[in-house]
Amino acid sequence: MSGIEASGIRKMFELVSSMEDPINLSIGQPDFDAPPEVKEAAIRAIRDGRNKYTVTQGLPELNERILARLAARDGRRPESSILTAGVSGGLTLAFLVLLEAGDEVLLPDPGFVLYRHLARVAGASPVFYDLYPDFRIDVAKIEAALTPRTKVLLVNTPNNPTGAVVSEEESRALVDLAERRGLFLVADEIYEAFVYDAPFRSVGAFSDRVLLLGGFSKTYGVPGWRLGWAAGPHAVVDAMRTLQQFTFVCAPSIAQHAALAALDLDVRPWIEAYRRKRDLVVEGLRGAYRLVEPGGSFYAFPELPPGVAESDFVARALERRLLLVPGSAFSARATHFRISFAAPDEELRRGLGVLRSLAGERPPSRTGGRGLDSRPGGGKMRAEGSAPGAPGVLR
């Protein structure tokens, strides 16, 4: 544990409880409450006495529903699945089962904070593949990071913190690489429902040698219920079940019963609302920050204004009661920051207003950087050929 620091995101979470009227764009949970049907199903489960352990693997009918959905989505049915205590629980079991001392696991940078720490807990070494500057998958970069000890390649799509969604072509390339180099793929797909521009395409559509992780926290507004799933080859899922017997025992029973009701719901109305929030963010930051437009999740990962140090930027945001997460919480680089748009529209608008005013401020002269106030109102895309370092909004 001496090598593991407390989460930078949780620190923001704690800070917010001591602030008056904060604009909180720091936290990764939906701003909507659980749908009434799901809450009722949970209450009914309690009343009906479903308060005992479930079998380790989770309710058979829920596993069956999950496998059927994955089969319909990917055109391939995973061999087996297990209900886990959130995707965090699934990742914990998966890392402990798949990795041992001396192994290396390839993780995205920037990437979700949990992975690298879990890798260490499993005795393995995290090795990072770089996603900058456009947050696309570059198989050549991943391949360059491989060593004979690399065992697992983790992909997170849609990505936290960048919002990038892995394309079908990238998924195929990842599967091809994994097959060529004998890697096992782990796909964290917790934000699967939050895609805004194109249908979600999973690596699970192209290979059976993958473990697919998904969850209920984000999609149904129940992060406190701690429910996720893992689906993949028998050998891996069976090992995870054995470890679950001696750790989590089972995923929360009430949440499992409510999940059966959740899976009947049409999630499109609230995903549509999140698409509008995404558009609000992209419009709100246009011309003020360089931003790769997030195609999914509920995060945006803009670049810091040139010449502005991360800690200064975060401190100046805090002075205006705006909470965000510094990019270095997710990355070896301190060049970006994460905002979560899982917030009420009014709070989001206020936050974007603060960000626009921060972009317009000249950094302290000691940094030697140039201010952004003379920037042209962007909209140009780097993908269209403007040079790195040029102002504009990346889409």
Dist CA 37 CA 5 (whole Å):
39
Give the nearest residue (CB) to ligand PMP.
86
Told to check if 160 binds ligand PMP by CB under 6 A, we report: yes
Binders of ligand PMP: how many residues, by CB under 6 A? 13
Q: CA-CA distance, 300 to 162, in Å (whole number)?
A: 6
Cβ-based burial of 319 (10 A; exposed 0-12, middle 13-18, buried ≥19): exposed
Calpha distance 48→93 (Å, rounded): 30
Minimum CB distance to ligand PMP, residue 219 (Å): 10
Query: For residues 187-206, which are near ligand PMP according to CB under 6 A?
Result: 188, 190
Sole binder of ligand PMP in the list 56, 80, 156, 202 (CB under 6 A): 156
Q: Does 352 bind ligand PMP (CB under 6 A)?
A: no
- Taking the least distance from each CB to ligand PMP, the nearer of 121 and 381 is 121
Please select the residue that binds ligand PMP; options are 26, 57, 88, 150, rule is CB under 6 A: 88
Query: Sign of the C-alpha dihedral, residues 103, 84, 15, 288?
Result: positive
* 220 part of the interface to ligand PMP, by CB under 6 A: no
CB atoms within 10 A of CB 207: 21
Binding mask 94-113 for ligand PMP (x = CB under 6 A): ------------------x-
Residue of 35, 58, 204, 215 that binds ligand PMP (CB under 6 A): 215
Residue type, 134: D
The span from the CA of 179 to the CA of 194, in Å, is 28
Coil, strand or helix at 304: coil
Per-residue binding letters, 2-31, with ligand PMP (x by CB under 6 A): --------------------------x---
Q: Which of 58, 228, 326, 392 binds ligand PMP (CB under 6 A)?
A: 228
Instruction: Please give the full DSSP string across 101-157, using - where no structure is assigned.
Output: TT-EEEEEES--HHHHHHHHHTT-EEEEEE-TTT----HHHHHHT--TTEEEEEEES
Report the interface residues with ligand PMP, using CB under 6 A. 28, 86-88, 112, 156, 160, 188, 190, 215, 217, 223, 228
